[in-house]
Amino acid sequence: MGTHTQGKPARKPGNPRARKPSRRRRGQRLVDYPRTGRRGLRRWLPSWRQSAGALGFSLSALVCLFGLVYASVDIPDENAAARREANVYYWADGTQMVSTGDVNRQNVRLSEIPDAVENAVIAAENDTFYSDSGVSPKGLARAAVNMVRGQETQGGSTITQQYVKNTYLSQDQTVTRKVKEFVIALKVDRKKSKREILQGYLNTSWFGRGAYGIEAAAHAYYGIPARELDPSQGAALAALLKGAEQYDPSVSAVNHRRSEARWKWILDRQVAAGLMKPAVRGKFTTYPEPHRESRATSLGGQTGYLVDVANKYVKQHTSLTDKDLARGGYKIHTTFDKDKVRRLKRAVEGVLDRGIDPKKRDADKGVQVGAASVRPADGAIVALYGGADATEHFTNNADTTGVPVGSAFKPFVLASALENGLRTPAGRGTRGTRWQPASAGSFYADDGLLQESATPTSSPADSPADSPARRHAGGGAAGPDAAHPTLRQALAKGGNATYVRLGKDVGWERVRRTAVASGLLESSMARLERTFPVGTSTPSAIRMAGAYGTFVNRGLRHDPYSVTKVVKGDEAAAGLARPGARRALDPDVADETAEAMRGVGTSAVDRPVVAGRTGDQDRLRSAWFTATTEELSTSVTMFRTGPDEPQLLPMSGVGGAKSQHGNVFPVRIWQDYVK
């Protein structure tokens, strides 16, 4: 008998249903890794399905992660450094005098930058700039690899990424910052035009020598604005973007070779990229040597005093404040003449070096000099000397008050007498007063009344036929006699007693009005008392130079000014129109005053001048000399100060016994200056 089994019959071999489990066995893994049924190395090698799945999952995760980062990172506000600009001051000829501020930057529009300079930068930094999306994935990957290796993450950024780094982010070299840079660059590329991005990049990039931006770099390396750069100079500046510390040719011979090699490469690269024609490239075979480093950002020497005067004028005549100027970005065009400023500085320093010796004489310690030159025709301040160094001596001696002007004030007394006449006693035995006209040839007689000298003072041929000098010829070199000098003689030398009397007869108030009308500030006028006519007032050298110009300008007054234009962006500040002329003196009065002053201390030059100085009789603590021609009016003052002395120190003995209380030095300074 055959046997048979209990239960379900066994499935036949080869039946598919026998190899297909109905459900996953308990304990079976979702991902078969390490792989079962494999031995050795094969057990650890993923299948192609597993590899493809892992890659797909990773890519999906990266896309999701990038989407989250892209959504979470916004374009931030510009950082503070990117917003800061320098204030730039220009000489009268339009060349840059100095750039001031924490950041030496002057933003310019892309239209002001030559195309050749733009092309040099694009060729050097990012030749696909106009076609790319603003980012370099390779650069980001390289940064990640370098971070893992412990190296710097910098390198491979597009112009857009560099602009983002300069404008919105810090300069830290980290992967986090690089990721932000990447994302923000994508958004900026979509939001801004390529021209806007290139303009921002050129205005924020570091070029070395303290210069941020192409405009500051053009001045720092070539002494010209960016609009004047030629293609060769543009290529040399573009080379600096790779690293100014390694490519500034003035640093070392190695730097020079490196810079010249990259300059050649950039020019050739422009040709290869179709940005420059070969014929144009052939014109540039000699490396454009930059100037020696001169940042022109220092306020030392005379520069600080020039900036001080310009800033004061801007604040007085516009709505700009200290806070506005501190924000930077202003282009301030001044009236200062570069050559005259340097000549005046050399004249002052030369005279002091020859005549003042603090080691030899205690009286020479603390000697200070201030000087200013004004153009009488319009009042432009063309030069000044404010002290030895604006970073060490902070008071601007050319624009300070507090220094008594002495006998240099007498011309205003004479002009007031000519303009107003005198009120004098009517005479012996007669009560009351009488009005008397005056002239430069008048003198005080024994009876105390002003009389006219019969002795001519100058040849009629020296003056116009209808001039006051001809109408009032009088008071020769010797005068009526030594005891009775004419007003002209008392003006030239000594004569304090004469002018004390004259000021009283004219009236101190009238004298003050004449001085103020001529250009001195009312705030600098001294008390109205006996010595007022002989110079107790304390005007600045700038105001004295301007007021003396009124005499040669036939009585027309031009207030001193130092700034012609202030511009920020496309907007010019209002209120800086050139000051108009005002009638201060009758033309005949101005002519006669000028004629009376002619010849005072003028042996240094062969052209006629008008001059006034502190005299031997002055016992004030200062020495002055002010002289004017129709072209230039200059005032020089000397005085002494002490570190713990609130008052001026005596001038006695300054420069030795023969210096006439220091009076010889202002004259010598003026002589050396105008020769």
pLDDT digits (tens, 9 = 90+) for 424-449: 765 554 555 677 888 888 888 887 78
Q: Where are the beta strands (DSSP E) in 260-377?
A: 331-334, 367-374
State mean pLDDT over 585-601. 86
Name the more confident of 544 and 430. 544
* Number of neighbouring beta carbons within 10 Å of residue 76: 12
Find out whether 306 and 334 touch, Cβ atoms under 8 Å: yes
CA distances from 284 to 226, 272, 280 (A): 19, 16, 8
Give the per-residue pLDDT at 101: 80
Q: Above pLDDT 90, what percent of the chain?
A: 48
Give the per-residue pLDDT at 53: 67
CA distances from 195 to 218, 240, 358, 589 (A): 20, 21, 61, 63
State mean pLDDT over 57-64. 61
pLDDT at 619 over 80: no
Task: Residue count of the chain, please give it.
Answer: 675
State mean pLDDT over 615-634. 85
Find out whether 313 and 562 touch, Cβ atoms under 8 Å: yes
Nearest to 670 by CA among 344, 339, 407: 344
Find out whether 270 and 276 touch, Cβ atoms under 8 Å: yes
Burial class (CB in 10 A: 0-12, 13-18, 19+), 661: buried
Longest dimension (CA), the chain: 188
Give the per-residue pLDDT at 58: 63
pLDDT digits (tens, 9 = 90+) for 561-574: 999 999 998 889 99
Find out whether 384 and 373 touch, Cβ atoms under 8 Å: yes
Residues contacting 281, CB < 8 A, separation 6+: 267, 268, 270, 271
Compute the mean pLDDT over every residue in the chain, rounded to the nearest whole number.
82
Token readout for 265 is 């490469």
Token readout for 564 is 């012609």
Dist. CA 261–CA 330, nearest whole Å: 37
Q: Is 357 left (phi over 0), alpha (psi -120 to 50) or beta?
A: beta
Find out whether 577 and 565 touch, Cβ atoms under 8 Å: no
pLDDT digits (tens, 9 = 90+) for 301-345: 999 999 999 999 999 999 998 888 888 889 999 999 999 999 999
Residues contacting 304, CB < 8 A, separation 6+: 386, 389, 390, 391
Give the per-residue pLDDT at 252: 87
DSSP labels, 489-504: HHHHS--HHHHHHHHH
Q: What letter represents residue 541's amino acid?
A: A
State mean pLDDT over 366-375. 96
End-to-end CA distance of the chain: 151
DSSP labels, 179-241: HHHHHHHHHHHHHS-HHHHHHHHHHH-EEETTEESHHHHHHHHHSS-GGG--HHHHHHHHHGG
Give the per-residue pLDDT at 41: 72
pLDDT digits (tens, 9 = 90+) for 549-558: 999 999 999 9
Dist. CA 632–CA 630, nearest whole Å: 6
Is-above-0.85 flag for pTM?
no
Find out whether 593 and 411 touch, Cβ atoms under 8 Å: yes
pLDDT digits (tens, 9 = 90+) for 154-170: 445 889 888 888 887 65
Q: Could you give all domains of the chain from N- to C-terminal order, each with its CATH number? A: 103-281 (1.10.3810.10)
Give the per-residue pLDDT at 84: 78
Q: What angle do CA 20, 24, 25 make, to 5 degrees?
A: 105
pLDDT at 132 over 70: yes
